Amino acid sequence: MSIDASDEEIVDAELVEDSELLPARAARLLVDQHTVLRPGQAIPTTADRGPGYTGRDIYLSDATAQALEEVDEESGTRKDAVRRFERWCAEHDRVAHPCTTATFTEYGRHLMSQGLKVSTIKNYMSLVRTHQPAGKQPDNSLYLQLLKKYRAKNKRASRKKQAFPLTLPYLVPMMAKAEADGRPIGVRDAALLAFGYRFLARSSEEVDLDIEDLTILDDRILVWLAKDKTHQDEDQTITLHDRADLQLVARMRRWLAHLAAHGITTGPLFRQLHPGGRPATGFREKVATKRGDYLRGQTVNERVKLWFKAAGLVTDGRPVSSQGLRAGGATDLAEAEATDEEIQEAGRWKKGSPIPRAVYVRPVRAARRDPFARVPIHGTEAISRHPVSGTTGPEQ
């Protein structure tokens, strides 16, 4: 007996009598609260065949996988937060990914037991939660209940210590000290300080700029900004007018001339320098970092602290950091009675943000007001009638 092609396809199937055939399983409807069908459209069921995916459809290429790893490594805080959580889970024999709601809540209480600031705890817990697999994030309602109680009992943990504002009386001596150093790194840092103040820059924005993002005119600099913290999908061209005390144009031109002397006219604007002043080319050297030729935000922070100390300046107890450049510009604007909207636009805060008024305008205005100024100065005659050590004055 000959076997045709259709017989060959089922030759390995189990043969049974007709009476032994199992009934076909009923197709199950595939419907949830998001299902939307047009008139006449069939309801989808498990009997409907999906696409015929192959390994090509589910595997990433080596280049894409590497690019995703680099994205993950860009945020040091995120990486540190996740590592801390994973280490804690390992020590307590708990699963980190995906973690349970109980594990997430316990970790939140663990952070609170260390007396951390509320803002720090919220940041760490948010990073841990978003790092969980898609669709498997733990419920954070119990942790938030604990955090609410923690905030109420630990008022100091909710206090945010603002960066010391590097206003012009502080900034100008810092730039002068950097340039008096006489080395190319001083030229770079003076330009970095002037630009950071006038741009009201977040350090991450400043160090991500390329030379070609700037158009330098005689009295101003035009900056093309691809995105910032509050404008992720919107590029901007920002005009930075120069000032006699800032000398922004002159300082930026001196720095760019140094780069051009070493054949660099494109690419990262602010770069690492070798001891002799030669700009580092990270992608071609053994000392290359993950940012390549781009300066790290932490480096800006370190240079700000260095020149503040070198200029012999002191603070009121608030920390000195690169954020002080942004705070300094905003504070000077507030002192000059700029409106909330003007400060908001200059610093590229989100429209309607309460930060300009709460952090800069309100404190400046409060510092100017002194209700006790209405009280007359107690004169020497009154002091003699009521000496501090005498008994003629009122009882205390």
Domain's final residue, options 158, 183, 216: 158
5 vs 339, higher pLDDT: 339
* Cβ count near 334 (within 10 Å): 23
| 24-37 mean pLDDT | 75
pLDDT of amino acid 226: 78
Who's near 191: CB < 8 A, 6+ residues apart?
A: 251, 252, 254, 255, 270
pLDDT band, very low/low/confident/very high, at 350 (cuts 50, 70, 90) = confident
Ramachandran area for residue 352 (φ above 0: left; ψ -120 to 50: alpha; else beta): left
**pLDDT, mean of residues 224-253:** 83
Predicted local confidence at residue 62, as pLDDT: 83
Q: What integer pLDDT is reported at residue 393 of this predicted model?
A: 45
Residue 379 counted as domain residue: no
Q: What is the predicted pLDDT for the residue at 379?
A: 75
Residue with tokens 């993002």: 213
Domain total of the chain: 2
Q: How would you write the chain as a 3-class SS string?
A: CCCCHHHHHCCCCCCCCHHHCCCCCCCCECCCCCCCCCCCCCCCECCCCCCCCCHHHHCCCHHHHHHHHHHHHHCHHHHHHHHHHHHHHHHCCCCCCCCCHHHHHHHHHHHHHCCCCHHHHHHHHHHHHHCCCCCCCCCCHHHHHHHHHHHHHCHHHHCCCCCCCCCHHHHHHHHHHHHHCCCHHHHHHHHHHHHHHHCCCCHHHHHCCEHHHEEECCCEEEEEECCECCECCCCEEEEEECCCCCCHHHHHHHHHHHHHHCCCCCCECCCCECCCCCECCHHHCCCCCCCCCCCCHHHHHHHHHHHHHHCCCCCCCCCCCCHHHHHHHHHHHHHCCCCHHHHHHHCCCCCCCCHHHHHHHHHHHHHHCCHHHHCCCCCHHHHHHCCCCCCCCCCC
What does the pLDDT read at residue 24? 52
Which of residues 388 and 235 earns the better pLDDT score?
Answer: 235
Whether residue 239 sits in one domain with residue 128: no
Specify the CATH number for the domain of residue 125: 1.10.150.130
Indicate whether 288 belongs to any domain: yes
Query: Do 244 and 341 belong to one domain?
Result: yes
Rounded to an integer, the average pLDDT of 80-105 is 94
Does 274 share its domain with 318?
A: yes
Domain that holds residue 172: 168-366
CATH code, 268? 1.10.443.10
CA distance 262 to 271: 12
Given 128, 158, 188, the domain boundary residue is: 158
Query: Mean pLDDT for the chain?
Result: 81
Look at residue 157 in the predicted model and tell me its pLDDT.
60
Q: What is the pLDDT of residue 71?
A: 60
Out of 158, 192, 217, pick the residue that ends a domain: 158
Domain match, 152 and 229 both: no
Q: What is the pLDDT of residues 165-192, one digit of tens each?
A: 999 999 999 999 999 988 999 999 999 9
pLDDT score of 53: 64
Does one domain contain both 282 and 182?
yes
Q: What is the pLDDT averaged over residues 151-169? A: 80
pLDDT reported for residue 381? 59
Task: Express each pLDDT in 280-304 by its tens digit.
Answer: 775 444 444 567 778 888 899 999 9
Residue 5 belongs to some domain of the structure: no
Q: Are 289 and 296 in contact (CB under 8 A)?
A: yes
**Residue 166: its pLDDT value, please?**
93
**Residue 153 falls inside a structural domain:** yes
Which of 115 and 228 is assigned the larger pLDDT? 115
User: What is the arithmetic mean of pLDDT over 365-388?
Assistant: 71
On whether both 361 and 240 belong to a single domain, the answer is yes
374 within a domain of the structure (yes/no): no
Confidence at residue 26, expressed as pLDDT on a 0 to 100 scale: 64
Residue 382 counted as domain residue: no
Contacts of 194 (CB under 8 A, 6+ apart): 171, 175, 246, 247, 248, 251, 252
- Could you tell me if 226 and 126 lie in one domain? no
The pLDDT of residue 344 is: 85
Asked whether residue 121 falls in the same domain as residue 152, the answer is: yes
Contacts of 383 (CB under 8 A, 6+ apart): none
Pair (141, 203) in one structural domain:
no
CA distance 330 to 356: 8
Q: Work out the end-to-end distance of the chain between its first and last CA atoms, rounded to an integer number of angstroms.
A: 123
Q: What is the pLDDT of residue 75?
A: 54
Is the pLDDT higher at 376 or at 203?
376
- Residue 235 forms part of a structural domain: yes
Mean pLDDT, range 142-170, rounded to an integer? 84
Token couple for 159: 């206090």
User: How confident is the model at residue 396, as a pLDDT?
Assistant: 41
pLDDT in tens, 232-246: 566 788 899 999 999
Are residues 306 and 212 part of one domain?
yes
**Looking at the structure, do residues 241 and 127 belong to the same domain, yes or no?**
no
Please state the rounded mean pLDDT for residues 264-269: 92
Asked if the structure places residue 371 within a domain, the reply is no
What was the pLDDT predicted at 8? 42
Confidence at residue 77, expressed as pLDDT on a 0 to 100 scale: 66
Q: Are residues 201 and 347 in the same domain?
A: yes
Split at pLDDT 50, 70, 90, the class of 21 is very low
